A and B are shown apart, each in its own frame.
Chain A
Amino acid sequence: MAGDMMTGTERLWAAIRLEKTDRVPIVPQLMPEPAAHLTGTTLARVAADNAAALDAILKTFDEYGGWDSIYPGAYTPLQLQALGADPMKVRIPGRDLPDDYMWQLVEEEVLQPQDYDKISEMGFDRFYHEDYLARISNLTKDDVNREMGALLTTGVRFLAECDKRKVKPFFMGTGMHPFFTLSLMRSMVAFTKDLYYHPEPVERAIKRMTADVIASQIPFAKEFGLGTLLITEERACAYFYPPRVFERFWWPYTKQIVSAFWSEGIVTIFHLDQCWDKNIRYFCELPKGSFVLELDSKTDIFAAKDVLRGHACFHGDVPAALLSVGTPDEVRDYCRRLISGAGDDGGLILGSGCAVPCNVKPENFRAMIETGKNTKA
């Protein structure tokens, strides 16, 4: 882009480090499904083949003029299930749903109360692959190995394609907070009952899973040398739970994870869906610059910025609904307000709220990218 003074990677890291940028860095959370929609591929195709998913993401990047860092998304729902990143039964387009449907997770009580202690004893990865996976999927050991091989192959190509475009992946991997993982596996209602009526086994499992996340993710980040790791949480905030639950089951373990990552120079990217307004103040306890908050527009990003100004970078938060049913002018207005209100002193990465929706209007997606590029910091 003419007038750019920084490379995409310089711009991204300046924002993360809360330094001034020439313009706001742009990193849309573009998963294979909206990329398929924007490039004329079926959702069934990208759900069945992660190489096709990567092609759709790269084609979108090229056709829309590129941006500063690519959100990793070259995986299929089955691969996410095999990895343990989507630990639920899944309905897949072309297999269980029509070709043009988004793949979707099924909320069921698969994890049972006695499983919490199995996780504590076995560790999450062993429990997941030796015991749990067969309850949600027909994947055999060979299938899992094949899917992991496909992930690796495409992951290597993803890195090479990023190099060709002179950008870096935003992060690699699919980290989840233990609290969120357990809620998905147990289902939210049953998990809530466990938290209130039988909290000790849940706490033991979260403790073990926290150690597992730290032990597994740090070497992974080091291997790719990106300096970032993702932690996703969609169910722990005060929209769902009171502070006493948050303070007992989420916050101490979050601090452990961030502290361990940060001691290795790794920045935690928190993908936080739903309204975190009442939880934002807790993040002041984390080291300055050690994390990024990726918000989905349900949290008041401007109020959050006031609390964490000069302390943390934000990523977001153009609402999925706006990208889906709004107009380009509305998208432009939203982006400008975001850049001036939450990016006035740096510390903002422009992106979508949660993820770009799979029925995003092409003109709205273009409006988001171009407004980011054309609005001075």
Chain B
Amino acid sequence: MTEGLSDLILNFKRDAVLENVERRLGSGEDPLRILDDCRRGMSLVGERFQEGDFFLAELILSAEIFKEVAAIIEPHLSKANPAQTKGRVLIGTLQGDIHELGKNILVTLLRAHGFAVHDLGVDVPPPAVVEKVQEFQPHVVGFSALITTAFPSMKEAVALLQEAGLRDSVKVMIGGGVTTAGVRDYVGADFQTTDAMEGVAYCLNITGGK
């Protein structure tokens, strides 16, 4: 049963996955166990991606399936027995940039890999990052950018985190097609990638999730 669900996700068989999940919920199976099986499928997809067998499109397809599974399972999780998370990640596209495609893909993937994610949205003023870090206490703060106009805002947000004494409590990662290692240094971030799955792997490493 467990392998079946993982394989279905690995083959992007959306309808069969949803049918499997509904059937198992209907038979009274522990929803957390079903969720774990799905996450195992997502991990397999991630491994195949890192091995070069799968591509971003396939990460997206599997994450979209997972999103639907999570929506089905969510009402069945009791407050006393919530799903365990692997860590907290705060994500946003900062002031000067309103693009969100890359950010949304990363958010979906992070959630599918068991992270609690707070998405700040787009065109986020740097002070709002500090405010949310204080409240949400993330392990990782991620900034996404498609255009270079977001770079100064990223730099400002990192400086504000430093001023507020919060910089040492979080890791800062940046991503998006326009970012480079040079931009990471300019911003004062800890990690940079143009690969969503590398972003997930970084968060897993930081939180000891893998």
Contacts and interface: CB of A to CB of B under 8 A. Distances in A.
A298 interface: yes
Nearest to A360: B148
Which of A97, A273, A319 is packed against the most chain B CB atoms within 10 Å? A319
A326 B99 contact: no
Contacts of B194: 275, 298
A270 B147 CA distance: 21
B14 A319 contact: no
A324 B145 CA distance: 13
Nearest to A323: B148
A242 interface: yes
A298 B148 contact: no
A239 interface: yes
A321 B147 contact: no
Contact of A320 (B60, B61, B148, B152): B148
A284 interface: no
A358 B147 CA distance: 9
B98 A324 contact: no
Contacts, number: 87
A140 to B, nearest CB: 26
A196 B54 CA distance: 13
B182 interface: yes
B147 A102 contact: yes
Interface stretch (B27-35, B130-138, B173-181): B173-181
Given A104-B99, A242-B57, A273-B177, A324 B14 contact: no
A208 interface: no
Contacts of A193: 61, 64
B57 A357 contact: no
B77 interface: no
Nearest to B65: A193
B207 interface: no
Interface string B99-136: 11100110000000000000000000000000000000
A321 B179 contact: yes
A324 B101 CA distance: 22
Nearest to B56: A240
Nearest to B146: A104
B55 A242 contact: yes
A196 B57 contact: yes
A107 B97 CA distance: 13
Interface string A82-120: 000000000100000100011011110000000000000
A274 interface: yes
B156 interface: no
B50 interface: no
Interface in B12-36: 12, 14
Nearest to A107: B101
Contact of B182 (A91, A275, A321, A358): A321
Contacts of B151: 321, 324-325, 359
Nearest to A325: B186
A91 B98 contact: yes
Contacts of B57: 192, 195-196, 240-242, 245
Contact of A325 (B64, B97, B100, B183): B183
Given A189-B60, A197-B14, A101 B178 contact: no
9 contacts: A107-B101, A193-B61, A197-B14, A241-B57, A320-B178, A321-B180, A321-B183, A354-B178, A357-B147
Interface of A: 91, 97, 101-102, 104-107, 187-189, 192-193, 195-197, 238-242, 245, 273-275, 296, 298, 319-326, 330, 354, 357-359
